[in-house]
A and B are shown apart, each in its own frame.
Chain A
Amino acid sequence: MEPAEVEFLAEKELVTIVPNFSLDRIHLIGGDLGPFNPGLPVEVPVWLAINLKQRQKCRLIPPEWMDVGKLEEIRDQERKEDTFTPMPSPYYMELTKLLLNYASDNIPRADEIRTLVKDTWDTRMAKLRLSADSFVRQQEVHAKLDNLTLMEINTAGTFLTQALDHMYKLRTNLQPGESSHSQDF
């Protein structure tokens, strides 16, 4: 899966906006949205929020976890624990990128938020690599990792599955089981 595909899935998440136009309730295949009244907050999917923001038809309200204090707590807890801590949103990386790129004027202290999220991401990726290394070293059969987000799995996944394929084939060398393809003339 490419990062762009993961981002596409992330755009279904709901976020609050304050529109400056009015529109009746609209009926889409995925569900109903609206009604939109100027000045009243309404919840819409991210893809619509970004689109409206680009056309200057709304103001974005950052999600409640996108705040410096809260992200600092999350980052510190991530550094303390050996396992993965639950993240405020299963798409935190994508939402951060989208909201900070398109609506940074609506988000206070955007640069600090970006740095904090990047720190948390780096810590989690390092933990993932450590876990993968111990998995390979001990030749375990399966492992369970909680609280991983799709973007992290996607970035590290292809490498890990290919390496494990190779390891599996090398392990089957150890059993010289008769898949005999020798012919006698």
Chain B
Amino acid sequence: MSEAYFPVGPGLGMEENFLSLDDILMSQEKLPGRAESVLPRLAMLLGQGAGSAESIPEGSKLEIPLWLAKGLHDSKRRIISVELPKIFKEAWRTVFSADANVVDLHKMGPYYYGFGSQLLNFENPENPEIAQTILQTFIARFRRIMDSSQNAYNEDTSALVARLDELERALFQVGQKGLNDFQCWEKGQASQITASSLVQNYGKRKLTEVDG
């Protein structure tokens, strides 16, 4: 227990963790959608118009962040309807099932797993396939993350993590930490007393000069 504080982790699955910074960032990702009814005076907010009194006509295409989409989505009062972003559509799903290791998940939206899980909240006939694809992608990429995180000691890992999304990066960090702890123990550094990282940046106090 040498951590100074524990950040709240992302709540994976169809629930989000309210206090998790990762989840907050993830829900900012945009979804394509359509306005089902007229949205009065909201044109500027949603980036569609220039005047503060313009409204969004019915049926126009919008890019909505996830948090807004979840709030406005309701099958009874049809305000907006959402579509799947293209990486969760059929074409990309077959790419993932062919070989998930070559996909650059960081470029596809750095929160692939979290975002995909949140999409399952909207009713959509393709939901089971989406859920299956996300799971299979994770399983396929697991081996590579495990191998690269447990074997890269004291190297520059930026090439290895470049193609991982945030969830996988967190796992990579955990693997690295396990490896580093073990190596550090084996070298005998575990029993050396070192200054805590929290206080290393405090400058030494100097005597204040007093005039006169």
**Which residues of A are in contact with B by a Cβ distance under 8 Å?**
2-4, 7, 97, 101, 125, 129, 132-133, 136-137, 139, 151, 154-159, 162-163, 166-167, 169-174, 176, 179, 184-185
Q: How far is the CA of A129 from the CA of B127 in the complex (A)?
A: 32
Tell me whether A133 and B146 are in contact in the complex, defined as CB-CB below 8 angstroms, given that A170-B138, A176-B127 are known contacts. yes
CB-CB under 8 A from A173, the residues of chain B are: 13-14, 117, 120, 131, 134-135
Q: How far is the CA of A156 from the CA of B171 in the complex (A)?
A: 12
Chain B at the A interface: SS class: helix
B74 → A minimal CB distance (Å): 8
Q: How far is the CA of A13 from the CA of B184 in the complex (A)?
A: 23
Q: How far is the CA of A108 from the CA of B134 in the complex (A)?
A: 55
Option from A2, A170, A179 in Cβ contact (under 8 Å) with B117: A170
10 pairs, CB–CB < 8 Å, chain A vs chain B:
A3-B181, A3-B184, A155-B178, A158-B177, A170-B113, A170-B117, A173-B14, A173-B117, A179-B14, A185-B74
Task: Confirm or deny: B27 has a beta carbon within 8 angstroms of a beta carbon on chain A.
Answer: no
A166 touches B190 (CB 8 A): no
**Which residues of B are in contact with A by a Cβ distance under 8 Å?**
2, 12-15, 74, 76-77, 113, 117, 120, 127-128, 131-132, 134-135, 138-139, 142-143, 145-147, 149-150, 167, 170-171, 174-175, 177-179, 181-182, 184-186, 188, 190-191
Tell me whether A2 and B181 are in contact in the complex, defined as CB-CB below 8 angstroms, given that A97-B186, A169-B13 are known contacts. yes
Q: How far is the CA of A7 from the CA of B187 in the complex (A)?
A: 13
CB-CB under 8 A from B146, the residues of chain A are: 129, 132-133, 159, 163
A169 touches B139 (CB 8 A): no
Q: How far is the CA of A158 from the CA of B177 in the complex (A)?
A: 9
A163 touches B13 (CB 8 A): no
A38 → B minimal CB distance (Å): 30
4 A-B pairs closest in CB distance = A3-B185, A169-B13, A169-B12, A159-B175
B175 touches A129 (CB 8 A): no
A96 → B minimal CB distance (Å): 10
A5 → B minimal CB distance (Å): 10
A137 touches B188 (CB 8 A): no
A167 touches B135 (CB 8 A): yes
CB-CB under 8 A from B177, the residues of chain A are: 158
Q: How far is the CA of A3 from the CA of B14 in the complex (A)?
A: 36
A155 touches B182 (CB 8 A): yes
Most buried by B among A7, A136, A157, A184: A136
B171 touches A163 (CB 8 A): yes
Option from B13, B76, B135, B170 in Cβ contact (under 8 Å) with A184: B76
B143 touches A176 (CB 8 A): no
B139 touches A137 (CB 8 A): yes
CB-CB under 8 A from B14, the residues of chain A are: 173, 179
Tell me whether A158 and B174 are in contact in the complex, defined as CB-CB below 8 angstroms, given that A133-B143, A139-B139 are known contacts. yes
A171 touches B181 (CB 8 A): no
B139 touches A167 (CB 8 A): yes
CB-CB under 8 A from B2, the residues of chain A are: 2
Q: How far is the CA of A185 from the CA of B79 in the complex (A)?
A: 13
B120 touches A170 (CB 8 A): no
B178 touches A159 (CB 8 A): yes
Option from A3, A133, A179 in Cβ contact (under 8 Å) with B182: A3
Q: How far is the CA of A73 from the CA of B138 in the complex (A)?
A: 39
A170 touches B127 (CB 8 A): no
Q: How far is the CA of A167 from the CA of B179 in the complex (A)?
A: 22
CB-CB under 8 A from B191, the residues of chain A are: 4
Q: How far is the CA of A157 from the CA of B145 in the complex (A)?
A: 15
Most buried by A among B13, B142, B170, B191: B142
